[in-house]
Amino acid sequence: MLTKNTDNPLVRLENLSKVFSVHSSRGLGTTDITAVKNVSFDIKKGETFGLVGESGCGKSTLSKIALRLLNATSGTAYYEGKDLYKMKYRELVNIRRQMQVIFQDPYDSLNPRLSVEELVAEPLIVHRYGNRARRRERIEELFHQVGLPPQLMTRYPHQLSGGQRQRVCIARSLTVSPSFIVCDEAVSALDVSIQAQILNLLLDLKRRFKLTYLFISHDLSVVKFVSDRIGVMYFGRLVELADTETLFSRVLHPYTHALLSAVPDPDPDTQKRRVLLGGSVPSLFNPPSGCVFHNRCPFTEPICSEEEPPFIDMGNSHFAACHFAGKLNLKIDF
Amino acid sequence: MKSMLSNKFIVIGGTIIVLMLLIAIFAPLLTPYEYGTVNLPNKHQPPSSEHVMGTDLYGRDVWCRIVYGARISLYVSFSAVAIAIIFGSFFGIIAGYLKGVVDIVFSRVIDIMMAFPPLLLSLILGACLGTSLQNMTIYIGVPLIPMFFRVSRGVTLNIGERTYIMAAKSIGSSRLRIMMKHILPNVLPQIFVVLSLGMGGAILAEAALGFLGLGVPQPTPSWGLIVNEGKLYMFSAPWTTGFSGAFIALTVLGFNLLGDGLRDFLDPKLKHLES
Amino acid sequence: MKKYILSRVLFALPTIIGVFIVVFFVVRLIPGDPASAMLGPKATTAQIEQYREHHGLNEPVYVQFGVAFKKFIKGDLGQSLSWYRPARDVIMERLPRSAELAFFGVLFGTIAALIFGVIAAVYRGRWPDLLLTSFATLGMSLPMFYIGLWILVIFAMKLKIIPVISTLGGGVSYWQSLLGPVLALALSESALLTRTTRSSMLEVLNEDYIRTARSKGLTERIVLFKHALGNALIPIVTVVGYSLATVFGGAIVLETVFARNGVGKLLVDAIHVRDYPLVQGTTIVIAILIVLINIVTDIVYGVVDPRIRVTGEER
């Protein structure tokens, strides 16, 4: 259904779901919570796919099960047509070098007990790349590519700034010459001034190494800046998916509309009408019936609380999960 | 390192232990008599300038026996704790990292071990294996395994979900490499704290087993054995058991203080409550 | 709650079975022929052969295990070699002696620790605190038998208020026979618990509701004993419960020191005369007792602590 006009996607996710069993500390029984439900989409070679949604909506979990860093509860993920969930442990370890992740918190994603050099060298050692001298050479080259001064090599993560740490993470994921990189809130923990530097570095590297990105962020302005296509997630579900252009010109889902209206506008003269959502994100322990957005949606109708809307193509590969997609007046007053 | 020395528990405990180690190492220089020379007419002499800690039931110098006993007791305790650390942290890290069935099975086995009071487990292992120096390290070490298992497993569970473990996974590190390179260095400091408390436990176990007559066989003096030889003469010649027991208590105190100090040092959260 | 208790009990069953398996195989570590080991050195070849036949020792190990396990389920722990009676009967006769020692030792130890701990917390950093925490640290480092032996020297030899051999009869009253070992056990228990009580109290005294209680103008005694100690009790209960279990280890030593006829001394004597069926039986009984005590502690903890902590994997 999603493959209509995509030739050979690099990554394909099919109905991925993740359910966590939450249990009390003394075994008084468990409750299941669904963090990700039935998410499917393709990522084409060379594109940047942006995934946007509030924190806690399951974006990070989705990226982890998409790479099988965590096991999905159901559904599957393909990389270059190969099913990650049918792979043996050894094959998986080997294919992982092609798919890298840059995590949100550069402080937490670097082992505090290893030096920067050891950290960047690790992938090279794991994949048996050259001898010590060759590795050293390669690390220096990588440092140059991500804009890190070589004298930082002997430092430890806590001695670096946030931006430097994130550059180390980027260098580390580039060591194995990947073709697909997941940037999981890669710039969110950084200062705004540093954010721009890192974003530009990422775009620059993409051009240079012909990379494909899955770019995850809660910040729509960042996602808009880097992405070719955007998927919007809410409460573990994909609610809308379209080209960046299309999405910003014709919004189909009320949730996306609310998100768009919240993007700060650099021009102080434009009067933007913000759509303020009532209520709050529902509890994972008690998911709403029907459309998961119905308790906060300004356009809610009786059917919304009864039936879960299907995720369908509304033309031009623009998907949305709303009973009234295309029938609502979702103008953004730019 | 500097701030470590500002912790008074670490300093006092460390000093006691270093002293005991020095006594054990330089035993021949500190002893005016042979520890094994029997001199029956001279038995049960109270402490005097000739025999600072008196003589035992065979007329042997108690001080000499205690000094040489330090060698055996510390050796047995160190070996026992080493066994416990190797097995405990190995299985603990595996259980904590792999989780699932492996964790359930290992944890159940540890639960079963913990149903026995440590001394009881040592006793029946000792009764069935027979008492020799090697066996003794086994049956003092085995009851200490759960302690190290639980610490290693706990730390591993805690950091197993950290992003850098995910990151290591995503660059293609094998499970073995992640456990050795990323998890083990984080487990070691905690092991160090427990090691200190475990040493105290091992010395107490050696003493208790010796007291019950299941210690290191004659004639090698260990603190447990010296205690055992003197216990029947507690009323008439209390110095044999009195002094050897005091040495045991002092050494255990040293290890307990060091352990407390290290725990405060590594977990500053608790510090304001303990001092 | 019912479901919780049931799950605790069901959870303990595999542990009890595991205990049996461990003891069964540990006893088979004895070097040489189990029959001659079980019968002792005085047995004749014919007796040994008869014993092997009777106990199925010529069968494969798993068959032997099955037979022993069936007996165990029925409560049969085998025949004691030194007492010429069923091991179970001998153990059950001795059990109350150990139980009363453990009970009174923990009871008095806990009472002392609560008083010491509260005083140390209130006078935090001043001399009563230093004195009590030093006492506690030292107490934890003293071997149990060492405490016992000195009590024996002081109370039996110098003061002559307890007997050297703490068995009943011969002009020795019930309390006299208990005084020595209970005192030793209580001292060592209170050392461990004083520190727990102190840190638990300090933690609670920092809470807002204590400040509220004080600002309401309640007397310091009510604040301390009703508001603070009540809440500090939760971790203390757990430590008491689990120490009740390890107290049996102390009982083994103390019963030997005071020549008291409990299961601990029974076990040590059985080891010395190589009465392996009795060793096996005593060990199993003590371990099962501890599993049961831990269940009770878990349940009490569940009652005392109304909070349910929810933990789970990351989302």
**Weakest mean pLDDT among A79-93, B38-52, B249-263, C244-258:** B38-52
Q: What is the 3-state secondary structure (H, E, C) of chain B?
A: CHHHHCCHHHHHHHHHHHHHHHHHHCHHHHCCCCCCCCCHHHCCCCCCCCCCCCECCCCCEHHHHHHHHHHHHHHHHHHHHHHHHHHHHHHHHHHHHHCHHHHHHHHHHHHHHHCCCHHHHHHHHHHHHCCCHHHHHHHHHHHHHHHHHHHHHHHHHHHHCCHHHHHHHHCCCCHHHHHHHHHHHHHHHHHHHHHHHHHHHHHHHHHHHHHCCCCCCCCCCCHHHHHHHHHHHCCCCCHHHHHHHHHHHHHHHHHHHHHHHHHHHHCHHHHHHHC
Q: Which pLDDT score, from 0 to 100, does residue B275 have?
A: 34
3-state secondary structure of C271: helix
- pLDDT at residue B145 above 90? yes
Task: Report the largest interatomic distance among the alpha carbons of chain B, rounded to a whole angstrom.
Answer: 77
Q: Which of C10, C30, C22 has its CA nearest to residue B113?
A: C22
- B-proximal residues of A, 41-100, CB under 8 Å: 64, 67, 69, 93-94, 96-97, 99-100
- C-proximal residues of B, 78-97, CB under 8 Å: none
C301, closest residue in chain A (CA to CA): A26
B110, closest residue in chain C (CA to CA): C15
A104, closest residue in chain B (CA to CA): B163
Say if C308 falls within a structural domain. no
From first to last of its 334 residues, chain A has per-residue pLDDT tens of: 444 444 679 999 999 999 987 765 444 556 788 899 999 999 999 999 999 998 888 888 999 899 998 889 999 999 999 999 999 988 888 888 899 999 877 678 888 888 899 899 988 888 888 888 898 999 999 999 898 998 998 999 888 888 899 999 999 989 888 999 999 988 888 888 888 989 999 999 999 999 999 999 998 888 999 999 999 999 999 999 999 999 888 889 999 988 888 776 666 565 556 666 777 778 887 888 889 888 888 888 888 888 889 998 988 889 999 998 888 877 765 4
3-state secondary structure of A237: strand
Contacts of A56 in chain C (CB under 8 A): 315
**Chains with 3 or more CB pairs under 8 A to chain A:** B, C
In order, the DSSP letters of A30-68 are: EEEEEEEEEEEEEE-TT-EEEEE--TTSSHHHHHHHHTT
Q: Which pLDDT score, from 0 to 100, does residue C28 have?
A: 78
Q: Name the residue with tokens 């308790």.
A: A295
pLDDT, greater one: C57 or A201: A201
- pLDDT at residue B11 above 80? yes
3-state secondary structure of C88: helix
C162: distance to nearest CA of chain B, Å? Answer: 14
- C-proximal residues of B, 214-233, CB under 8 Å: 214, 227, 231
Sketch out chain A's domains with CATH numbers: 11-320 (3.40.50.300)
pLDDT, greater one: B112 or A280: B112
Name the residue among B164, B177, B185 with its Cβ closest to that of A109.
Answer: B164
C1, closest residue in chain A (CA to CA): A28
Contacts of C271 in chain B (CB under 8 A): 123-124, 126-127, 214
**Chains with 3 or more CB pairs under 8 A to chain B:** A, C
Contacts of B185 in chain A (CB under 8 A): 111, 113
Tally the domains of chain C: 1
CB atoms closer than 10 angstroms to residue A331: 10
Calpha distance A169→A102 (Å, rounded): 6
3-state secondary structure of C89: helix
Any CB–CB contact under 8 A between A172 and chain B?
yes
A232: distance to nearest CA of chain B, Å? Answer: 24
B254, closest residue in chain C (CA to CA): C141
Please give the residue range of the domain that contains residue C107: 94-272
- pLDDT at residue C277 above 90? no
User: Residue B203: CB partners within 8 Å, gap ≥ 6?
Assistant: B73, B74, B77, B223, B248, B251, B252, B255
Say if C238 falls within a structural domain. yes
Domain boundaries, chain B: 2-274
Name the residue among B112, B118, B204 with its Cβ closest to that of C143.
Answer: B204
Chain pair A-C, CB pairs under 8 angstroms: 40
Phi and psi at residue B48, in whole multiples of 5°?
-150, 180
Confidence of residue B274 (pLDDT cuts 50, 70, 90): very low
Say if C152 falls within a structural domain. yes
CATH classification at residue C204: 1.10.3720.10
Say whether B167 and A67 touch across the interface (CB within 8 A). Answer: no
pLDDT, greater one: B125 or C7: B125
pLDDT in tens, B146-197: 999 999 999 998 888 788 888 888 888 888 999 998 999 889 988 988 898 8
Contacts of A176 in chain B (CB under 8 A): 171-172
Report the CATH fold assignment for B2-274. Answer: MetI-like fold (1.10.3720)
Would you say the C-alpha torsion C242, C243, C248, C249 has a positive or negative sign?
positive
Any CB–CB contact under 8 A between A108 and chain C?
no
DSSP element (H, E) containing A11? strand A11-24
C53: distance to nearest CA of chain B, Å? Answer: 22
CB atoms closer than 10 angstroms to residue B169: 22
User: Which amino acid is residue B147, in one-letter code?
Assistant: M
Calpha distance A93→A231 (Å, rounded): 28
